[in-house]
Structure 1
Amino acid sequence: MLSKRNKRFKRAVKPLTAVLLMSMVLAACGGGGNNQSSDASPSGTASSQTGTSSGASGLKPYEIKLLWEGSAQKDTAAIEAKINEYLQPKINATVKITSLDFGQYDEKMPLLIASREPMDVVFTAQWNGYANNVSKGAFLAVDDPNGPAGNLLEQYGQDIISSLDPTFLEGSQINGHTYGIPTNKELAAQGGVFYRSDIADKLGLTEQLNNVKTIADLEPILKTVKEKEGSAFTPLFLTGEENFNSHYMAQLDYLGDNAIDGLIRKDGDSTKVISRFEDPGYMSNLDLTHQFFQEGLINKDAPTTSLGVTDALKKGNVFMVVASMIPGYDKETANALDMVGKIKMLNIGPITSSTSETAGSMLAISSTSKDPARAMMLINLLHSDKYLNNLINFGIEGEHYVKVSDNVIKAGPKASDYSPGVAWELGSQFLNYTYESEDPDKWNEMKKFNAEAHKSPALGFIFDVEPVKSEAAVLINISKQYAAALNTGAIDPSKAQEWYDKEKKNGLDKIIAEKQKQLDAFIASKKISR
C-alpha cells in the first residue's frame, strides 16, 4: 500500500524524452473536449439502479476498462473473474483491470490521452496533471446536466453524494464542475519518512530517530547507516517526485499541477502567489538535499529512477524514504510489503490540508468511454459496496487474505500474488478491512487527524490553466529539465537560478498573475457565499 495517497511515491522523469513527449501530447490534445462521448445513458436502458440485480434489467453487456497506478499483480485475472461474477447481476458489466507502474504513469498517460485510447475509469490526481488533462478534454464532467454525459453523479452516484465529505467534491472541481470522484480517505497530510526500524535497532539509532525534529536532524543518522551498512545499502532513497521539496514536506500549495510554478504556503495564511524560487524553505531544501547527495547518502539514480519508493523498500537494501503521513500508515505499509515489525514512520512538520489532499486521489471517467453511465455505476459501488471494495483491494478471502474477525484480516497463503496497495485510489477507504497488526480504531484516528489540520488559504481551489495553457506547456517542459535533478540533490542548487531565468523569459509572470487573479476571485466568492 506504500504508494502515494495524495502525491505518493511515483513519477520518475526522463528529462529529454519527457520534454519531447509532452510537446507532442499538448499539440495533439489542444482541442479541448470536442471528442467527448455523447452517450450518457448505459447501453440498453436509462435505468439508474446500481445496487440490486434488477438494476441490470435491460442493460447490454459492457466491459468497463479500469486503469489505476500501481504495480502489476500476478493474480489480477483471478480477481477480475471474481469481480465480474459479482458485478454482472448488478449492472451486467465486467471489468478489465490495467495498471501502470508508479514510475511510468505520468509518462504514459499523456500518450494514452493523446491517442484517444478507449478507457472508462481512470485514476487521476491534482499532482499528476488532473487540471491539464481536464483542459485537454480527457475527462468528462460528471455533474453537468448540460454536458455531453449529463449529470452522472446525480443519476448513478447517490452513494457517493451521501457518504463523501462535501469538502472533497468542492475541493476537486474545476470551473464549478466535477471531473474526478475523490477517494474517501484523509483530508490532510503531514510530511515525514518511513525507516527500517529493525536496522535502526541494530545500529542503536532508535533514540536518535525519536528526537528528530527537522530534515537536517536526519544527517548524522544517515551517515551512521552508510558507515555501518556499507555501499550496498542506500541510507535515503529519493525520486524526482518523492523528496524534501514534495508539497507535503515543503508545505507548498501549487494551486494545481506542481510542474506549473506559482504557489502559496499551505501552513500559512498569506494568499499572495509567489514563485517556488521566492520561497526560502524550498531553496533551503535544495541546499540540504545537495549536501546529502554529495555525502553519498542518497541513491545516485534519484533523478531518473523508475523504481517506486514502494519497490525500493521492498528490495530490502533501503533504510529510509520520504512519504506523506497519516495515522497508522507505517503498519499499513508494512503489511503491504510483507515487512511487519520492520517499518516505522517519523512525522516531520505540521498537519495541513489543501486541494492536494481533496483532489489528491480520484477516479475520472474518460471522454473515450463508450458507456459513461456504467463507469459511474462502478465508481459508486466502490464507494458503497464493502464486498466489492475489499475484493478489488485485498483479493480473495482464504487465498490472499484470511479474516480474523468481521473487519480485521491477516495475510493469506497467496498474499504475495495480489497486494496492489492502492486502496487510497479506489473508492472509500472507510470500507477497507484493517490488518490485525493495525490499530482497529484507525479510521476514527483518521477523522481526528483531519480535524487537526491547518487549512491552506486556497483549500478547494484548482487553477484553470486554459487562459495560459501555452505558457504552462512551456513551463512544464522547462520543469522537466531541472526539477528532478535539483530536488534530489543531484546537481548544484545554483542551477535553480538558470531554471528561474528560463521561466521568467517564457511567461512565468503571466502565469503567476493569472493564478493570483483566479485565487482572489475564488476567495472573494467564498466570502460572498458566507
Structure 2
Amino acid sequence: MKKKVVSLLLVAAMIMTMLAGCGKDSGSTDTGSSDDGDGSVTKTEIGEYTEEDPYHLVFSYVEFYEQDDDARAAVQDAINAKMIPEYHIEVELLPLQYADYQSTIQLMLSGGDDLDVMPIFYTFASSWINMGGIYDMAEFMDTEEGKAIVEALGEENANVGSMNGVLYGFPANKESVELGGLCMRADVCDELGLTEKYGLEANKDAYDGTYYDWSVAEEIFAAVKAARPEMTPLYMYNSDQLVRFKFFDELVDGFGVLDWEADHASTKVVNKFETETYKEAVTMLADWYDKGYIFEDAATDTQGTASMMKAGNTFSYLTAIKPGFLAEAEAANGGKCYAMYFGDHKEGGLSTTNVSFFNTGISANSQDPEMAFKFVSALYADAELMNLWQNGIEDTNYKVLEDGTAFFVEGEDGSNYAYHQNTGWFMGNQFNSYVWNDGSKSADYWTLLQSHNDWAEYSPAFGFMWDSTDYSTEVTALQNALETYRAALHTGSVGLDKVDETIQKLNDALYAAGLQDVMDAKQEQLDKWLAEQK
C-alpha cells in the first residue's frame, strides 16, 4: 500500500471550492481526524481520506473454524459498505490458520508486508516488540477512540497489554476469571443423595459466592467409590490442572510467581515449587490417588473429559465453570451434569495473562497507525462492525430471534454454515455482539458473564508482563526440568510416600537450570514496573 495523500488535483479543487464559498456555507466539512461519516475528509498526521479515497486497511485474525470463501468475501463487502462511508476505511480481511499464525505474522513483520491490525498472543509480544514489529498505541489513548476502548474494557483491562512501556494490544472483552470446581454426573448425584445435600440443580452454574473446600470433594469421592467401585470418582489426564486447586500469579511462565493464596498483596517473586501452597495441593492429589479416587492412568492419558464421561466410567472432572457451562458440558458429555464450585477463597484471582491472552494490536508496518487505531476502537465500540465480522450478514448468515439473540438461518447449523466466526473471545468486544443462542443461552448471557468477572480480585502485579527475551535459554531448560516431574506430581500418581522426595528433585533440577537467575531478573523487572505505577 502506498500512503494515502490528497492528490494535487484534489487540493486544487478544494482551494477553488473554498474561494467560491467565501462568505457563505460551502457545504464542505473539515473533520480533522474525526470520523463522522458525513462525506468529509478524515485527516491524520500522515494522510487524508474520504469515501472516494479511503484508507486501505489489512485486518489479520485467526480463523479457528472453516469458512466459505465466497461468503467471507460477501461479508467483507458488507463491512466495507459500512466502514468506507462512516470511517473512510476500506477493510481487507486476512484470515490465518492457527497452526500458521505465528510464523505468518513473523514473516509479514520482518518482510515489511502490508499489515495493519493483528492478533498478538501474549507469549509472542516480547519478541515482536524487540524486533520493532509492534506499534505503541499509548499516544492514541487520550483520543475519542481511546476513550471508547477504556469505556468498553475498563481502565485496568484497557492498559493490561503493555510491556516495557509499550502498549501493544487490547484484550478481548470476555469472561476472564477462572472460578473452578467439578462437573459431576447428575444421575450418580441423585442416586447418592448429593443433589439434595448440596442443593444441586439442573442448569445451575452461575456463581453466587457459594463454594466448598476441597475436603468436601474428598467426601463425595469416597461416597462414589463405595457405591460405584467400578467408576473413577475423578478423571484427570496429562494436562496441567493445578490451577483448579491453587491460584498463583504465574508472571507469564510460572518460573518465579506471586503466591496469591498465601498473601493476596505480596509482590515478592518466589519459587512456586517450594511454597507450602504448592506442597499442600500436590500432597492432597497424591493422597486422593492412593485412595483410588483419581484415574489410575492420569499421568499419561490424553483421552479428554468428554470421552470418559460418555463412556460412563467416570463420575467427575475438574473444570473452570461459568454461566452457560452446563449446557455445553452436557452436550459434550452426552448426559445431565451438575456443577459445584470449590476453592480456598470466595473470589477468584486475575493475573495479567488471565486477561491479556490474545490481544488486538497494530503492526509497525501500518502505513497510517492512526487509521488502524480507529478500526481497533471500532472493534470494541461499534456493535455493527463486531456483528458483521463475527456473525456475517443478517438474514443471510444468521437471523435475530424474538428475544434478541441470534442463530443460524434456516437450513444451516454448526455443520454446514457458510459464515460464522464464533471467536468473540479472541479479539474485540464480545459483549457488543449478539448472544449466539443454540437453545442454551438467554438474552442476558453477556450480563451474566460480566457478573462472573466481578467476582475476581486483581493480582498486585496485574498489568505487568515479564520480558524473558534475555533468558530464553534458561526458560526452555526450566520447562524441560518441570516436564520431567510435572505429570506425576500434578495428577497425584507420584504417590503420597514420594511427594517430598520428588518435589526436592524437581527443585534441584530447576535451580540447576537457572531458576534463581530468572527469578532475580523477574523481580527486578516487577519492582521497576511497580515503581512506575506510583
State TM-score, norm by structure 1. 0.70
Instruction: Evaluate the alpha carbon distance shift between residue 333 and residue 388 of structure 1 in structure 2; reply closer, same or farther with a 3 A threshold.
Output: farther
Paired with 1:338 and 1:195, the residues of 2 have a C-alpha distance of 13
Which residue in 2 is equivalent to 1:324?
A: 320
Asked if 1:511 is matched to 2:518, the reply is yes
Kept in 2, the 8 Å contact 1:67–1:122? The answer is: no
State the shift of 1:229 in Å.
Answer: 8.2
Paired with 2:38 and 2:191, the residues of 1 have a C-alpha distance of 56
Instruction: Evaluate the alpha carbon distance shift between residue 60 and residue 273 of structure 1 in structure 2; reply closer, same or farther with a 3 A threshold.
Output: closer
Kept in 2, the 8 Å contact 1:240–1:485? The answer is: no
Kept in 2, the 8 Å contact 1:463–1:515? The answer is: yes
- 1:167 is matched with which residue: 143, 153, 156? 156
Asked if 1:487 is matched to 2:490, the reply is yes
Matching residue's letter, 1:178? L
Asked if 1:274 is matched to 2:270, the reply is yes
Paired with 1:82 and 1:506, the residues of 2 have a C-alpha distance of 53
Deviation track 1:81-102 (CA, whole Å, cap 9, x = no partner) reads: 34312223323223243343xx
Instruction: Evaluate the alpha carbon distance shift between residue 471 and residue 227 of structure 1 in structure 2; reply closer, same or farther with a 3 A threshold.
Output: same
Deviation track 1:126-157 (CA, whole Å, cap 9, x = no partner) reads: 5xx25554565485133156xxxxx6996976
- 1:472 is matched with which residue: 472, 475, 493? 475
Instruction: Evaluate the alpha carbon distance shift between residue 144 and residue 159 of structure 1 in structure 2; reply closer, same or farther with a 3 A threshold.
Output: closer
Matching residue's letter, 1:84? Q
Counterparts of residues 304-343 of structure 1 (less than 5 Å): 305=302, 320-326=316-322, 328-330=323-325, 333=328, 337=331, 342-343=336-337
- 2:76 is matched with which residue: 62, 84, 87? 84
Instruction: Evaluate the alpha carbon distance shift between residue 431 and residue 225 of structure 1 in structure 2; reply closer, same or farther with a 3 A threshold.
Output: farther
Which residue in 2 is equivalent to 1:3?
A: none
Instruction: Evaluate the alpha carbon distance shift between residue 402 and residue 144 of structure 1 in structure 2; reply closer, same or farther with a 3 A threshold.
Output: closer
Instruction: Evaluate the alpha carbon distance shift between residue 137 and residue 446 of structure 1 in structure 2; reply closer, same or farther with a 3 A threshold.
Output: same
Asked if 1:502 is matched to 2:509, the reply is yes
Kept in 2, the 8 Å contact 1:292–1:489? The answer is: yes
Instruction: Evaluate the alpha carbon distance shift between residue 285 and residue 420 of structure 1 in structure 2; reply closer, same or farther with a 3 A threshold.
Output: farther
SS in 2 for 1:509: helix
- 1:407 is matched with which residue: 384, 404, 407? 404
Counterparts of residues 57-206 of structure 1 (less than 5 Å): 57-59=52-54, 64-67=59-62, 70=64, 72-73=65-66, 75=67, 77=69, 80-89=72-81, 90=83, 91-100=89-98, 123-126=119-122, 129-130=123-124, 132-134=126-128, 137=131, 140-143=134-137, 159-186=148-175, 188-197=177-186, 200-201=189-190, 205-206=194-195
Matching residue's letter, 1:142? D
Instruction: Evaluate the alpha carbon distance shift between residue 416 and residue 450 of structure 1 in structure 2; reply closer, same or farther with a 3 A threshold.
Output: closer
More displaced 10-residue stretch of structure 1: 429-438 or 295-304: 295-304
Which residue in 2 is equivalent to 1:21?
A: none
Unpaired runs of 5+ residues, structure 2, are: 7-31, 40-49, 84-88, 201-210
> Identity, % of aligned pairs?
23
More displaced 10-residue stretch of structure 1: 228-237 or 406-415: 228-237
Asked if 1:285 is matched to 2:281, the reply is yes
State the shift of 1:165 in Å.
Answer: 0.9
Paired with 1:395 and 1:315, the residues of 2 have a C-alpha distance of 34
Which residue in 1 is equivalent to 2:433?
A: 432
Asked if 1:362 is matched to 2:359, the reply is yes
State the shift of 1:443 in Å.
Answer: 3.8
Relative contact order: is structure 1 or structure 2 higher (C-alpha 8 Å, sep ≥ 6)?
A: 1
SS in 2 for 1:240: coil
Kept in 1, the 8 Å contact 2:232–2:295? The answer is: no
Instruction: Evaluate the alpha carbon distance shift between residue 447 and residue 359 of structure 1 in structure 2; reply closer, same or farther with a 3 A threshold.
Output: same
Kept in 1, the 8 Å contact 2:273–2:503? The answer is: yes
Kept in 2, the 8 Å contact 1:140–1:366? The answer is: yes
State the shift of 1:264 in Å.
Answer: 3.0
State the shift of 1:59 in Å.
Answer: 4.1
Matching residue's letter, 2:137? D
Paired with 2:503 and 2:129, the residues of 1 have a C-alpha distance of 29
The structure with the larger Rg is 2
State the shift of 1:182 in Å.
Answer: 0.9
State the shift of 1:177 in Å.
Answer: 1.7
Paired with 2:118 and 2:233, the residues of 1 have a C-alpha distance of 34
Deviation track 1:165-194 (CA, whole Å, cap 9, x = no partner) reads: 110132221122212211123464422234
State the shift of 1:500 in Å.
Answer: 1.4
SS in 1 for 2:95: strand
Paired with 2:336 and 2:135, the residues of 1 have a C-alpha distance of 44
Which residue in 1 is equivalent to 2:47?
A: none
Paired with 1:362 and 1:185, the residues of 2 have a C-alpha distance of 12
Counterparts of residues 37-48 of structure 1 (less than 5 Å): 44=4
SS in 1 for 2:216: helix
Which residue in 2 is equivalent to 1:8?
A: none
Matching residue's letter, 1:414? E
Kept in 2, the 8 Å contact 1:313–1:319? The answer is: no
Kept in 1, the 8 Å contact 2:127–2:469? The answer is: no
Kept in 2, the 8 Å contact 1:237–1:298? The answer is: yes
Instruction: Evaluate the alpha carbon distance shift between residue 193 and residue 177 of structure 1 in structure 2; reply closer, same or farther with a 3 A threshold.
Output: farther
SS in 2 for 1:415: coil
Instruction: Evaluate the alpha carbon distance shift between residue 485 and residue 233 of structure 1 in structure 2; reply closer, same or farther with a 3 A threshold.
Output: closer
